[in-house]
């Protein structure tokens, strides 16, 4: 029995480290390719693009955890939802810093010009600003302090996802395959939540009638 518990503890420990390290792989590859000058004709744009893509990927993965738990009744990914959400915030911040450093060169006059000429930047910044309080309040201590307000606050993830979708759609030039894929995945993720919510309402109504 003690051996089984020890084995289970070590497996969970290894699982935690695996989930912790995997989201860092894209950043590691990006850093390595930058080191060997293998980022294509426009390295600055590549860095900005890749960090933004992984901010979205991790946000979508975070959104996928609850529907997957409801459909397949496994709960272990729930342990890592907070971590993956924080990684999404991390990549979003790196995305912004990369844009400010490599595209704008930290010039505020250029930032104002970009905000006027490219409104998708405003939408992306709004999504990041809304994501920050979710990261700040992601600890269990903050969850206890906020109580029910914590759940209300963290429902901001849905408008954040929609703002992110607008951010990437607004950047369509000719090929819209990537945006279409992200839009389809988000539609499924949000649609599944509406479906489960309606199912719950029906069950509550049926229970009320039976009583």
pLDDT of residue 211: 64
Rounded Cα distance between 24 and 93, Å, is 14
Which stretches does DSSP call E strand in 57-189? none
Mean pLDDT score of the chain, rounded to an integer?
88
Which of the two residues, 60 and 201, has the higher pLDDT score?
60
Structure tokens at 112: 């104002």
- Cα four-point dihedral sign 96, 181, 200, 77: negative
pLDDT value, residue 26: 95
Q: Is the pLDDT of residue 28 over 60?
A: yes
Mean pLDDT of 12-27: 92
Report the C-alpha gap between 199 and 206 in whole angstroms: 11
For residue 35, the tally of other CB atoms under 10 A from its CB is 9
pLDDT over 70 for what percent of the chain?
95
For the record, the structure tokens of 105 come out as 């060169």
Q: Write down the pLDDT at residue 136.
A: 92
Domain boundaries, the chain: 2-210
Spatial separation of the C-alpha atoms in residues 137 and 144, rounded to whole Å:
10
């Amino acid at each position: 029995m003690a051996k089984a518990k020890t084995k289970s503890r070590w497996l969970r420990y290894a699982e935690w480290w695996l989930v912790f390290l995997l989201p860092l792989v894209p950043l590691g590859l990006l850093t390595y390719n930058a080191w060997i000058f293998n980022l294509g004709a426009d390295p600055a744009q590549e860095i900005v693009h890749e960090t933004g893509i992984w901010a979205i990927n991790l946000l979508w993965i975070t959104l996928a955890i609850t529907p997957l738990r409801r459909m397949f009744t496994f709960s272990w990914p729930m342990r890592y939802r907070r971590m993956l959400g924080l990684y999404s915030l991390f990549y979003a911040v790196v995305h912004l810093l990369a844009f400010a450093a490599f595209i704008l060169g930290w010039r505020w006059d250029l930032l104002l010009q970009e905000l006027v000429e490219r409104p998708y930047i405003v939408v992306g910044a709004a999504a990041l600003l809304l994501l920050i309080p979710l990261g700040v309040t992601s600890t269990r201590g903050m969850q206890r302090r906020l109580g029910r307000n914590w759940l209300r606050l963290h429902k901001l993830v849905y408008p954040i996802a929609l703002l992110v979708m607008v951010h990437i759609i607004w950047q369509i030039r000719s090929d819209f395959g990537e945006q279409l894929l992200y839009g389809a995945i988000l539609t499924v993720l949000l649609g599944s939540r509406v479906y489960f919510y309606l199912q719950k309402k029906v069950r509550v109504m049926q229970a009320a009638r039976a009583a």
